[in-house]
Structure 1
Amino acid sequence: MAEDRGDPLAAWTERLLALGTGIAPEDAKAFVHDLYTAAQAALDEERAEVEFQREE
């Protein structure tokens, strides 16, 4: 499994693939990666806003 090789998103990709048929593993992996990236960016933005508010 990819998770065994150090891929932190592998478990989420596997969960997505287990939800149904018809999605290619590459598409599932790309979706999970894009979702993670967007969530991380939103978190970073939120942290920056909190830090900005704290400094004012």
Structure 2
Amino acid sequence: MNDTSDLLEPWVDRLLRLAEGIPADEARRFVHDLYAHAQSDLDEERAEADLEREE
């Protein structure tokens, strides 16, 4: 597994415990997509902050 998968696995496990009946591969995809979206939002916020500092 890569580093991101290692970080996300506890969240996948938690989702699987909380929502019975979700296939593990769908839970992994959901957690990965959620993480990727959150990371993208953070990257945008950082870029905006950097731009504001430069002005």
Task: Tell me whether the two structures share a fold, i.e. TM-score over 0.5.
Answer: yes
Structure 1 unaligned blocks of 5 or more: none
Match for residue 38 of structure 1? 37
Moved over 4 A (4+): none
Bigger relative CO (Cα 8 Å, ≥ 6 apart): 2
Cα-to-partner distance string for 1:11-43 (whole Å, 9 max, x where unaligned)? 000010010211000000000000000000000
Higher helix share: 2
Match for residue 7 of structure 1? 6
- Secondary structure at 1:7 match in 2: helix
Residues matched between the structures, number:
52
Q: TM-score, normalised by structure 2?
A: 0.88
Partner Cα separation in structure 2 for residue 20 and residue 35 of structure 1: 16
Q: TM-score, normalised by structure 1?
A: 0.86
Structure 2 unaligned blocks of 5 or more: none
Taking only aligned residues, the RMSD between alpha carbons, in angstroms, comes to 1.4
- % identical equivalent positions: 54
